Structure 1
């Protein structure tokens, strides 16, 4: 016999389940479990989507730095396409797919630029090569001579071998403040378990979604 479910349109028409757990706590647990099991080079990678000036979404993979005070943190140059788009239209989505634990997490929320002191801290933790690239490259812009960029990079490696590289003014990051978080557990029979958490008036409500 087939079971019939009521549709959920993210409003009060659905029966809400009282939360005993903040979804960020569950995310942190899942994330740590993935880090412990994963063998991929960049287990912190996630897909960041922003809204372009032409109305089309743009997606690219970035590295999640951490979760601070219920906010996801990503970094990068604010003059890049993602930076320009998030400043102009501060709405974003993050998507995680974790192969080792077979889980997916989808986040939608508001983008807020991080504080300059925090950006300095993250920049100081980057590799020397990454720091140099942040200074000599305008991320996403066209170049007529890539070999010249390579030459500049090699010269800067020599010039800064014993130097501390300061953060460029245009290098920063964003908090993604979640409004909706969906956590899905993959099932081999395709009956995936999907939990949707929606934040309204600073309170989380939980919905179970069909696969």
Structure 2
């Protein structure tokens, strides 16, 4: 296949047919930390749009600060039901506020309230204060649509390298590397 995004979508749809994983869109998102060390955490890939991988989160949390300072990032997917690993390297770009609003409104209400009351990654002095702030927002806005906090953002990861590793019983796994050259993708087979 000449297009790795189409291949990614095909493999992901196959995984969705078989998986019982609660969040099959989970992937490991790696940034370059402000101290120069790689920094990884799991996020949910919201979708793939225009060949770009979409993630969301707090712009004031560590990941938001790190991508503001260095746009080089990576994603790693591991699909347990189909034994497929996908690694993506690319550049990240913040999307506009309309996109942030769209993805915020798609979150469940509990996650929306947590995004409003919690400054993700800051030192927690007292969980009771955070729980109280949650209850206040929950009560005050019970019948209302919650507004997207300014700290919530959506980003697109524009890939320039995607590697697929499809595990097979013989241990001679299928390993395919796609690299962007201009507007085209070049692919090569790698030894497992």
TM-score interval for Structure 1 and Structure 2 normalised by the shorter chain: over 0.9
1:40-92 Cα shifts (integer Å, max 9, x gaps): 11011000000001110000000010000010000011111001101110010
Q: Quick one: distance in 2 between partners of 1:151 and 1:186?
A: 48
Q: Quick one: distance in 2 between partners of 1:109 and 1:135?
A: 29
Residue number in structure 2 paired with 1:146: 127
Residue number in structure 1 paired with 2:80: 99
What secondary structure is seen at the aligned counterpart in 2 of 1:138?
Answer: coil
Q: Aligned runs of 1:102-181 on 2, under 5 Å?
A: 102-181=83-162
Matched, 1:74 2:55: yes
Larger Rg: 1
Q: Quick one: distance in 2 between partners of 1:21 and 1:153?
A: 48
Q: Quick one: distance in 2 between partners of 1:167 and 1:152?
A: 16
Considering only aligned residues, what root-mean-square deviation do their CA atoms show, in Å?
0.9
Q: Quick one: distance in 2 between partners of 1:156 and 1:167?
A: 13
What secondary structure is seen at the aligned counterpart in 2 of 1:173?
Answer: strand
Q: Quick one: distance in 2 between partners of 1:175 and 1:186?
A: 28
Matched, 1:23 2:4: yes
CA contact (8 A) 2:2 2:185 kept: no
Is there any run of 5+ residues in structure 2 with no aligned partner, and where? none
Paired residue for 1:54, among 30, 35, 38?
A: 35
Q: C-alpha displacement at 1:189, in angstroms?
A: 2.5
Is there any run of 5+ residues in structure 1 with no aligned partner, and where? 1-19
What secondary structure is seen at the aligned counterpart in 1 of 2:14?
Answer: helix
Aligned pairs, how many? 192
Q: Quick one: distance in 2 between partners of 1:173 and 1:183?
A: 25
What secondary structure is seen at the aligned counterpart in 1 of 2:68?
Answer: helix
Q: C-alpha displacement at 1:155, in angstroms?
A: 2.5
What secondary structure is seen at the aligned counterpart in 2 of 1:117?
Answer: helix
Residue number in structure 2 paired with 1:7: none
Q: Structure 2 length as normaliser, TM-score?
A: 0.97
Dislocated runs of 4+, deviation >2 Å: none
Q: Structure 1 length as normaliser, TM-score?
A: 0.89
Residue number in structure 1 paired with 2:164: 183
